[in-house]
Amino acid sequence: MLKKVRSLWGLALAVLLALAVSQLPGCGGGGSSPPTGTLKVGLTDAQSDNFAHVFITIKEVRVVPAGLESAEDSDPRLPVIATFAVPLQVDILQLRFLQKTLGEAVLPAGNYNQVRLVLIPNEGNNLANYVELNTGGKFALDTNSGVKSGLKVVGKINVRAGVINAIAVDFDPNTAIVITGSTPSNQKYILKPTGIRIVRLATPLPELELGTSTSFGSLTGYVSTLGNWSTATVSVVPQASSTAIAAGSIFANATSGGPRVPFSAFVPSGTYRVHVDASGFLPYSTPLQTVTAGNSTAVSIIDLLK
């Protein structure tokens, strides 16, 4: 059952795919100590036509400083955002327009290139990570890498000193879960970290609340991979403004062999343009798109030209 959020009059901006950082006062930055900032990490999700439920069970959340991408999970140089004495099981399909806060920590200011979600393994019929199909049936979710070395979610995070920095791990089951096998008897459901995105939030998305309404909608679309780009930046700009309220990276290898890569942005009701930029290609801007609360607005497939 989807849960909803109460309307927040004081919340001016809660977006998915945002690189702007909240300017609220935070920790650190003064004296002779190295500057620090606060990083808050949440989990959010797009919807899927295939799955009724997608459960993952998290033991620990770490972030990886730039240059330490090959470090072991136990490396003390990887800051711990959260450790769960009782592993946290989350049905990510409850998180449309919402987030589940995983934790927050005060970190050295600087650049980080990964979030690692260390997952609990499935043991026999005791499934910690699994999917339930809309058509019926419960199946184990293969999370081998997430158990052995942490599910490595790649994305640029700049922790700025003296402010609260908020990010969300955007779990899109349409790209994050790969189905192999031709028949139900030999099919496997594999969690693919390249289908999960890190996004920066100007303000964290609202927390889960029962029996309330959401004040957010979404912009969703695809960028064609036929131009052979590798990384593109998608930004969302309100009408009559030149400043993006949302921007984030998408990766051509996030798609499961298809010719396009999805993007999404959770934004308040309003009118926006979507801009896409990739090195070696002409900038692209969509016509104005109207977003209404509780609904997704589809953007036409975007082709990048040289």
Contact 247, 234 (CB under 8 A): yes
Q: pLDDT tens digits, residue range 246-269?
A: 777 788 876 554 688 888 887 888
Residue 218, pLDDT score: 83
This prediction's pTM: 0.75
Average predicted confidence (pLDDT) for the chain: 80
> Nearest 5 degrees, angle CA 160-CA 249-CA 40?
40
Contact 44, 99 (CB under 8 A): yes
**Mean per-residue pLDDT, 24-33:** 48
pLDDT confidence of 5, banded at 50, 70, 90?
Answer: very low
pLDDT confidence of 69, banded at 50, 70, 90?
Answer: very high
Higher pLDDT pick, 166 / 84: 84
Instruction: List the chain domain ranges.
Output: 12-208, 213-306
Residue 86 confidence (pLDDT) above 90: yes
pLDDT confidence of 272, banded at 50, 70, 90?
Answer: very high
Q: Distances in Å between the alpha carbon of 263 and those of 60, 110, 174, 222? A: 27, 26, 11, 6
Report the CATH number of the 213-306 domain.
2.60.40.10
Biggest CA-to-CA distance, the chain: 63
- Beta-strand relationship, 100-108 and 270-277: unpaired
**Mean per-residue pLDDT, 19-34:** 46
Hey, which residues does 192 pair with through a beta bridge?
Answer: none
Q: Select from 230, 264, 228, 258 the least CA-distant residue to 246.
A: 264
**17-21, 35-39, 70-74, 80-84: least confident range:** 17-21
Residue 24 confidence (pLDDT) above 70: no
